[in-house]
Amino acid sequence: MTTHFQGRISELSERLMDDTDSGVWDVHDRAVAMAERDEPVYLLSVGDPDLPTLPSTIRSAIDSLEKGRTHYAPGRGEINLRTTIANIETASSGKPCDPNEIVIFPGATNAIYSVLACLLNPGDDVVLAEPMYIGYEGILRALNVNKVSFDLDIGNGFAFDVEAVKAAITPKTRVVFINTPGNPAGNMLTQDQLRELAAFCLERNLWLVCDEVYSMITFEDTHVSLRRAAASLENVIVVDGLSKSHAMTGWRLGWTVCNTTMADRLLDFTSSTIFGCCQFVQDAAAFALSNDEEYIAGVRQEYRVRRDYVCERVAAISGLSCQVPKAGMFVMINVSAVAASGIDFAEELLDAESVSVLPGVGFGACCSDYVRVSLAQPINVLTPAFDRIERFLSR
């Protein structure tokens, strides 16, 4: 049947069709298709923790469902969860945090989208460091804002340089966006850097937004929150969530911490777009955050063992190199000595050995010679995967 329908889609939707990350997900998509066909494949390209959600958290969600907590929730989020988060914030920042400074979202991704939608007009500039989390790209494109990026100091553990932020500011900059601990590089900003950046942004009337979703997955150093470091919290917005720390990606639970005036703006936005998050998920989230000390220590230790294992294997393979990440769930491996690019390496590795890694270029052009390996696989998967990487390179 022929149709004459000529309805258009929006410019926003068209911008999201723009395939600027072409090639980055090809290897992963092919590997997932292989797994679906039950072919043996080693998926080191995933960012979804393999660890289980704490069983008592699952029990708490079931209890909540059985109590009938299946209705609309307050737009800002359930008071019990917001109080739990505010108390954690007060303790970690050393500054009093009120539950009305917290807004709950279905995941950090939605929280970041909402924050940036409330701060930016089309054409405004956002300053951020590369390599950066791939997910930011689509948000910036949807909002039609310009990414003004600078490179982390790759040779120096992907260190962050506050002076590079200052140099990147344009007359159109409204927001400086940071991510500590960082995906993909596992780098961390220091307390001094955060303090200086917050003061600089305040002086220049810029918002400073910080994604801290890996705050609990740190190894030698402890995470310093932007709210602890900043002398004034007026222009500071922190985003966090349970996806990574509590292996709860599918529960979709994140939040923002900011001043109450801005929280009211976020409430207006989320009331029009989300209309509240699941009650039972929020109940389980409050439970998880109140009963997680041992669990988080175990998660940290597990990723640390995996990180050490991967870094040792990389060091022993001629032609590969990496810097030991301080935090997070990933290791960036430099493949420039053995491949024309990270994309070539990843494609050929999958074809030859059924091991899937993510080309670094997806995180920024500065990482085109890198691939990202995920630690979201147990040692008994990492071991044969690295045996295969070794065999691939010895050919």
Ligand X SMILES: Cc1ncc(COP(=O)(O)O)c(C=O)c1O
DSSP letter string, 188-224: ---HHHHHHHHHHHHHTT-EEEEE-TTTT-BSSSPP-
**Number of Cβ atoms within 10 Å of the Cβ of 317:** 16
Binding region for ligand X (CB under 6 A) out of 6-14, 102-110, 193-201, 378-386: 102-110
CA distances from 373 to 238, 306, 329 (A): 27, 11, 9
Return the number of the residue (246 or 313) whose C-beta is nearest ligand X. 246
Would you count residue 241 as binding ligand X (CB under 6 A)? yes
Q: Are 230 and 236 in contact (CB under 8 A)?
A: yes
What x-and-dash track marks residues 252-271 binding ligand X by CB under 6 A? --x-----------------
Pick the binder of ligand X from 49, 77, 99, 107 (CB under 6 A).
Answer: 107
Pick the binder of ligand X from 24, 27, 47, 345 (CB under 6 A).
Answer: 47
Return the number of the residue (110 or 393) whose C-beta is nearest ligand X. 110
Would you count residue 211 as binding ligand X (CB under 6 A)? yes
Would you count residue 276 as binding ligand X (CB under 6 A)? no
Burial class (CB in 10 A: 0-12, 13-18, 19+), 44: buried
Q: Is the dihedral of CA 246, 252, 258, 260 positive or negative?
A: negative
Strand (E) or helix (H) holding 239 = strand 236-241
Rounded to whole angstroms, how far apart are CA atoms 359 and 344?
8
Binding region for ligand X (CB under 6 A) out of 55-63, 106-114, 119-127, 230-238: 106-114
Return the number of the residue (31 or 389) whose C-beta is nearest ligand X. 31
Would you count residue 45 as binding ligand X (CB under 6 A)? no
Would you count residue 133 as binding ligand X (CB under 6 A)? yes
Return the number of the residue (119 or 393) whose C-beta is nearest ligand X. 119
Least distance (Å) between residue 139 CB and ligand X: 10
Return the number of the residue (263 or 358) whose C-beta is nearest ligand X. 358
Return the number of the residue (151 or 390) whose C-beta is nearest ligand X. 151
Least distance (Å) between residue 138 CB and ligand X: 11
The DSSP output letter for 57 is: H
Q: Are 252 and 281 in contact (CB under 8 A)?
A: yes
Q: At what angle do helices 79-93 and 279-290 cross, to 10 degrees?
A: 30
Return the number of the residue (270 or 392) whose C-beta is nearest ligand X. 270
Binding region for ligand X (CB under 6 A) out of 12-20, 103-111, 308-316, 368-376: 103-111
Backbone angles phi, psi at 322, to 5 degrees: -155, 160
Pick the binder of ligand X from 114, 243, 270, 341 (CB under 6 A).
Answer: 243
Coil vs helix vs strand at 109: helix
Would you count residue 89 as binding ligand X (CB under 6 A)? no
Would you count residue 183 as binding ligand X (CB under 6 A)? yes
Least distance (Å) between residue 352 CB and ligand X: 28
Coil vs helix vs strand at 272: helix
Would you count residue 249 as binding ligand X (CB under 6 A)? yes
199: left (phi over 0), alpha (psi -120 to 50) or beta: alpha
Least distance (Å) between residue 363 CB and ligand X: 10
Q: Are 35 and 350 in contact (CB under 8 A)?
A: no
Would you count residue 77 as binding ligand X (CB under 6 A)? no
Rounded to whole angstroms, how far apart are CA atoms 360 and 270?
33
Binding region for ligand X (CB under 6 A) out of 69-77, 105-113, 159-167, 277-285: 105-113
Strands 358-359 and 370-374: antiparallel
Return the number of the residue (137 or 283) whose C-beta is nearest ligand X. 137
Least distance (Å) between residue 241 CB and ligand X: 4
CA distances from 389 to 30, 185, 216, 374, 395 (A): 18, 21, 30, 14, 10
Return the number of the residue (371 or 389) whose C-beta is nearest ligand X. 371
Which residues in this chain contact ligand X in the complex, by CB under 6 A? 47, 107-109, 133, 135, 179, 183, 211, 213, 241, 243, 249, 254
